[in-house]
Structures are given as C-alpha cells and as structure tokens.
Structure 1
Amino acid sequence: MLNLEWFRTFKVIYEAGTLSAAAQALFISQPGVSLHLSSLETYTGNRLFDRDTRKMIATERGTMLYNYIIEHMNKLEEAENIFHRRPKSEKSTVSVGMSMEIFQYILEEHVSELPFNLITRFGDHAQLLQELNNGTLDLILTPHKGSQHNLEYTPFTTERIVLICGGKTDTTELNQLLAASDMQAVKDWLTTQVWYTTAADMEHLKGFWSASFNGLPGFRPNYVVPHYGSILRCLSNNKGFAVMPDFMCRQEIAAGLIKLAWAGSPPVENTLYFGKRKVTACADEIKQLEAILSKKRSACTEKVLN
C-alpha cells in the first residue's frame, strides 16, 4: 500500500537536495530516508532522482511528481500544524485576515497586549473569505458577505468612501463646478489631475467614480503605491487626489495635512463585517479581538469628532 510518508520524504529530498539534509530535516536516519525513496520509486515504477556524489537531481518523472503533489502536501502540513493537539499550558493561536490599512490603523498597537498568539494575513476579500471557510483563518474583516452556511457576519463599522487631496491642492475650480452641479465638467476636470491609488485595490476609486459619474474612470492613476498609508504620506502638504475610506484619513484632515475635496454624490458607503465560523475552537479569543477592534474604532471616531 502507498504510504503518505513516502511523499513527505520525497518532497523534502527534492527541496533539500541530499539524503543527509533530508534526514536531518525529518529527524529520521539516512537509511530510513533511502528506504522511503526506494519504496516510492518501486510503487511508481520510475526512478525519481539521479544519484550524484553531491546532490540528488530530480528526473523528469520526479519533477512531474513534485509539481503534482506540492500544493496538496503543503495543505496537509498546514492542517497538521493547525489541528495537532497542544498542551493545555500552551497559548492558543488565532489567525486573522484583514487589509493592511485596518491592521495598522486599529490593531497593530495592541498586538503585544494579546494573551494569545496571533497570525495576521493580508489579501483580497475573496481570498480571505475562502481561507475563513476552509479553516485557515478564524476571523476576517470584510465588506462582502459570503453565502456559506457555516459562516456568520456581524457589522463592525460603516465606512464612507470620499475624495481627498493634498493640503496644497488648489480646489477652487472644483468647488465652483460642484456648486454649479456641472457633473460633466467636474468629471473632465478631475480626469486631468494627478491621481494616487494602491497597488492591490482600485475598488474604492471605481465605486466612487461609478456612483458619481455613472461609469468607470477613464484615466490611469499617476502613482500606484503599496497601501493607503503611503498615499496619505505622499499627499501630506502636497498636491494630488485619491479616493479612500474616510476613517483612515480623518486625523490627517483634522491636522490640515490633506483636505476633503468631495464627499461624492450620492455618498458611497460600505459596511465592514466581522466574519467567522459558527463553530470555532477559539470563540473566547475572537470575542476579545472583536472588543479591541470595536473599542479602538469608537475611540478614533470620538477623537476626531471632538
């Protein structure tokens, strides 16, 4: 019968390059590694490596086998890490998915205070939702609710998507056009301006533009930067435009570093949700995280309003 440990050994040999290095990585003897490999080669009926004095070189069939199993082996190893039994004295680990901006703005300063281990992942909403569903993540912050029956969503906050500009940007003409309700002229004027956006997400810009002008932006942003924090630093006491959630830029607006150029018409709002599985082994830890995030969010809003 096929032994899955043969695949694990084969994977490590392929990646380590030698039998001795594979034995060291697997904490087994070198003869044991050789036995697993020979058993797998006998089972497949193919030589998987050419033996060299210094290195094991994968054959064509060996490379094909590695490429076929690597994704599945990584998934099995990840499942092994998540589900293996831990001592009661060991801290639990919670995996959370959110945007980098929300992490930096709300959670980052509290990480060292958490009484449990934390793994944070950044990705697009579809990816985070999939990882929550398959158990890789325990909690996500997302504007999109999935239809999976085993997941539940709790509203966290409502974000308004607004148009901002650098503190030195002259918005006199824009204000005049908005006052005259000449939306075509507003659209044409904005199209000629300097624009910033993020590398991972143009969804906010497209949504704002679509709501205001009934179409997608017909220009290419001048500067594509890693995240919203970069946009704020680039625009501070400078010139240019960007679209982003209001709660991420309120402090900079209050300090006069950037300006609220236009709230949009009609306003564009998104609800952010806590997403989690209905049955989870870390319900208490998730409640603590939700409380920290909600408290920090309320404190930031109150500080700005005051």
Structure 2
Amino acid sequence: MANFEWYRSFISIYKHSSVSEAAKTRIMTQPAMSQHLASLEAEVGEPLFTRTSRKMVPTERGKELYSQLVPLIESLEETTLNLKAVSSPTLPIIKIGSAYEFFREKIAPSLGDFNMRVNAYYGFASYILELLTEEKVDIIVTSQKYSAPGIEYVHYVEEEFVIVAPYDFDIPDFDNPKQLEAWLCSQAWLSYGLELPIIRRFWRKNFQKRPQMKPQHVLPDLHIILSAIEHGAGISLLPTYMLANALQTNKVKIICEPYIVTNDLYIAVKTKNRNLPNVKMMIEALKKII
C-alpha cells in the first residue's frame, strides 16, 4: 500500500523536475527522496518519470497520477490546517516582510480590518527573502523575484513612479526629449541608493540610456526623500501611492508627465506553506487593499 509521504515526494519532484531540488524543499536527503519515488513506482507498476541528465520528465502515467493527486493532497492538508486553526482560542499570527514605505502607506492603514495579529519585518528585497527562506516570516511583498527553492511568487500590484519636485519648482519648455533629458541630468537629484535603482530604470525606459549624473543626496527612506523635496532639496522619483497628502496640500507637484516608470510587486510564500489558513487569509487581505 502506498505511503502518503511517497505521494508528497512525487508531487515535489514533479513541480521541481529534480530529485535534489525536491529534497531541499521537503528538507530530506536526496537518497531518501529517491527511495520514496522508487517505492511509489514499484507500487504503481511503471515509471513515473524519464530520467535525463538535466531534469526529471514525467511520463504519461506520471502526468495522470499528478493530476489525480494534487487536489486530494491539497484538500487534505488544508482540512488538517483548518482544524488546527479552529481549535486555537486566539487570533492567528501572521509574520509579514515588506519594504518599510509600502507597509506604512498600504498595509498599516488596513490593520484594523485584518482578522489576525500581524508581526511586521522591514528591509530590502534580499533581506526579506532570506527571512522567508529561513521561515522567520510567513509571507513577503517584494519587488524582486529571486530564484530560490521552495518559494512561490504571485504578481500582486504594479507601482507607478513619477518625478516629484517642490511645489514652486520652475520647469522650462522643451522642444524634444533630448533637451528634457539633458535638463533632468542637470538637476539636484535625491536617490534611494548610490546605484540609482529606480532612476536607472526610468532613464532606460524613457531615454534608452543610462543617466549621466550623480545624486545630490542619498537617502534610503522614501518618506525622508519626500520631506526633503517639500523643503526644496531637489527632485526624485517616488511611487504615486505616497503622494496624496503632499499633492493636496501643495507641498510638491508631479513634473514631466507622462514620463513615468512602473515597478512590479509580488507576494511570495514558501510552497509548503501556501495552504496555511493564516497565509491564505493574509493574501486575500492584501488583495483587498490594492
């Protein structure tokens, strides 16, 4: 009789096309994973994969078995996790990682609507991915899709960045994009980092080249950049979601429209945890605040 763990190992190998990657995801040794597959193939009576030098290719019988197993396994796991959640007398805890600015502007105002307790962690994309990999957080909102075993990404939202200047900033007229680009290079820029992350992308999209300038100030906090712009320190690229109040009170203005750049954000979770009730609840809550 087939062992339930053989099925879980088979599904993991199917998803990753690799015994070694599947073993990492399930925190098993490669020989143990291979033994699970061999035992299941013996039970089924025929091969489930064709072994090549680079990956495991499912046979027709393997594809058929996968399509039959996945809904059953996921339903069973979800039922078990829901039973555990119902038995808990307190609200579930969710640990989420994101950029500080995004959490402050988009998530924090909706915390009262979440039927859960939130522990937040802030940092750059690489840092919060490390937290997710080490299971120190349950879910992250990130702008980078790093290749990591056992991590799933789902597109969440598209940020729009615009050029923001002090409200009384004077802008000359330009005959062509080349004049505009030269003028922009001559301005005092405030940047999130020395490498000009979003500024470089803006230049590539709108002028098909790298920006030929150095930032006047490097301030790794978008809210501090916005405050500096309000007080006349220079111009920068900022996401539109954090500008409503400053625009309404005439502290800043958007210039050089329609020159913009977009940035994709993703929700990422560990594959093995995607059916946890608190993770699914948080994903649904995040979708409501877009």
Q: Normalised by the size of structure 2, how large is the TM-score?
A: 0.61
Greater Cα radius of gyration, structure 1 or 2: 1
| d(CA) in 2 for partners of 1:290, 1:218 | 40
Aligned to 1:152: 152
Residue among 188, 193, 208 paired with 1:194: 188
Q: Is 1:212 aligned to residue 206 of structure 2?
A: yes
Identity %: 20
Q: Is the 8 A contact 1:160 1:269 kept in 2?
A: yes
SS in 2 for 1:221: coil
Q: How many residues align?
A: 206
Q: Map Cα deviations across residues 228-270 of structure 1 (whole Å, 9 max, x no partner).
A: 11122222364621012222224433443221112465x4222
Aligned to 2:14: none
Q: Cα–Cα, structure 1 residues 96 and 114, in superposed 2: closer, same or farther, change >3 Å?
A: same
Shift of 1:199: 4.9
Q: Cα–Cα, structure 1 residues 263 and 160, in superposed 2: closer, same or farther, change >3 Å?
A: farther
Gaps of 5+ in 1: 1-86, 298-306
| d(CA) in 1 for partners of 2:216, 2:180 | 19
| d(CA) in 1 for partners of 2:194, 2:288 | 28
Shift of 1:205: 1.4
Q: Is 1:181 aligned to residue 183 of structure 2?
A: no
Aligned to 1:22: none
Which AA in structure 2 matches 1:186?
L
Shift of 1:170: 0.6
Q: Cα–Cα, structure 1 residues 92 and 182, in superposed 2: closer, same or farther, change >3 Å?
A: closer
SS in 2 for 1:273: strand
| d(CA) in 2 for partners of 1:282, 1:91 | 17
Alignment of 1:45-60 (within 5 A): none
Shift of 1:156: 1.7
Q: Normalised by the size of structure 1, how large is the TM-score?
A: 0.58
Which AA in structure 2 matches 1:224?
V
Residue among 253, 275, 290 paired with 1:259: 253
| d(CA) in 1 for partners of 2:161, 2:195 | 13
SS in 2 for 1:130: helix
Gaps of 5+ in 2: 1-86
Aligned to 1:37: none
| d(CA) in 2 for partners of 1:181, 1:132 | 46
SS in 2 for 1:279: helix
Q: Map Cα deviations across residues 59-91 of structure 1 (whole Å, 9 max, x no partner).
A: xxxxxxxxxxxxxxxxxxxxxxxxxxxx94465
Q: Is 1:290 aligned to residue 277 of structure 2?
A: no
Aligned to 1:93: 93
